[in-house]
Amino acid sequence: MAPCNEAMDIASSAAFPTGAAPVAALRDFVARHRRLFVLTGAGCSTSSGIPDYRDAEGGWKRAQPVTFQAFTGEAATRRRYWARSLAGWPRFAAARANPAHRALATLEADGRIEALVTQNVDGLHQQAGSTRVIDLHGRLDQVACLGCGARTPRAQLQQVLLARNPGWERHVAAVAPDGDADLDGVDFSGFDVPACEACGGMLKPDVVFYGESVPRARVEAAMAHLRRSDAMLVVGSSLMVWSGFRFARMAAEAGLPLAALNLGRTRADGLLSLKIEADCVKALAGLHGHATTQ
């Protein structure tokens, strides 16, 4: 559930290498900057089977995700959300880190990454071995109570959902981004949504919904890392939401070289030092052994 805030005019697209040049250009960029601030988005996880939200022009491929206001204000929205989540969670939980995640973990192990800030909520960077990770939008494998703040594993809630809604596991649904699932023509009115076992409060995935703000502590931690970095690399994000774009703008204002590896336009195209329009896995696969030459 990536957050959504104000829309801004999209900058005109920057030039980018073609043919065999993209990988070489990326290698050179990484080799020339010893402390990278890396920001990743949905494009980093698509090869793990988790769909993204946006097309090459930065537009929505599907209906926008549920908003925080609708989730907290409408019982029908919560029933629909948790019913779809019940169907989508098993396949989301089964996703595994791909070579793009592992390449970034290797860069960190080589001492090249100051911090990795991810807009994704799948935990695949940590699964690949990265440790300097800020989960900007939270983690879907945790559930939070909006009443008492208690956090429980999402896998545990799955068993509760199944027990209270027998037969729902038989619904066949297409995988959607962030653990959601497309259930068409289904009546959600009878779906039983559990409350917090500790206080009876409302349960919500421990992620930042659209219309909700990223916790300030996360933003400030990321900003501190950015100030200690000498370049920023965006991987698999269009930066269409403010929560991620703000770091690209800060980097540009600070005079830091800014590169983006993304299929399609980004909100920061006019700010980029380097634009590489290529698949994340293919472009990152050849970095190891080249990024530590300087």
Which of the 8 DSSP states describes residue 225?
H
Residues of the chain below pLDDT 50: 1-16, 18-19, 60-61, 289-294
Rg over CA atoms, the chain? 20
Distance CA 167, CA 115 (A): 44
Measure Cα distances from 161 to 61, 85, 97, 194 in Å: 29, 10, 27, 7
Return the ∠ at Cα 145 (arms to 200 and 120), rounded to 5°. Answer: 155
Across the beta sheet with 258-261, what order do the strands follow? Answer: 133-135, 113-118, 36-40, 231-235, 258-261, 274-276
Is 225 known to be catalytic?
no
Domain boundaries, the chain: 6-50+97-137+213-294, 62-94+140-207
pLDDT tens digits for range 103-138: 999 999 999 999 999 999 999 999 999 999 999 999
Q: Is 200 left (phi over 0), alpha (psi -120 to 50) or beta?
A: left
CA pair distance 267, 58, nearest whole angstrom: 8
Q: What pLDDT was estimated at residue 194?
A: 97
Q: Do the Cβ atoms of 139 and 207 come closer than 8 Å?
A: yes
| pLDDT score of 168 | 86
- For position 268, what pLDDT does the model report? 95
Q: Identify the pLDDT of residue 291.
A: 43
Q: What is the spatial distance between Cα 188 and Cα 81, in angstroms, rounded to a whole number?
A: 9
pLDDT tens digit string along 61-94?
456 778 999 999 999 999 999 999 998 899 899 9
What was the pLDDT predicted at 176?
A: 62
Tell me what pLDDT residue 21 has. 75
Q: Distance between CA 173 and CA 154 in Å, rounded?
A: 19
Instruction: With residue 143 as reference, give the H or E element that holds it.
Output: strand 138-145
Name the residue among 131, 106, 101 with its Cα closest to residue 290: 106
pTM for this prediction: 0.87
137, 171, 288, 290: which one is catalytic? 137
What is the structure's pLDDT at 294? Answer: 38
pLDDT at 58: 53
| Alpha-carbon distance values, 37 to 27, 106, 183, 223, 274 (Å) | 15, 15, 38, 10, 15
Question: What's residue 57's pLDDT?
Answer: 55
Level-2 CATH architecture, domain 62-94+140-207: 2-Layer Sandwich (3.30)
Question: For 6-50+97-137+213-294, CATH number?
Answer: 3.40.50.1220
Q: Which of the 8 DSSP states describes residue 176? A: -
Q: What is the pLDDT of residue 209?
A: 93
Domains 6-50+97-137+213-294 and 62-94+140-207 agree in fold = no
Would you say 241 and 58 are in contact if contact means Cβ atoms under 8 Å apart? no
Buried b (16+ CB within 10 A) or exposed e, 85-107: bbbbbebbeebebbbbbbbbbbb
Grouping H, G, I as helix, E, B as strand and the rest as coil, residue 183 is coil
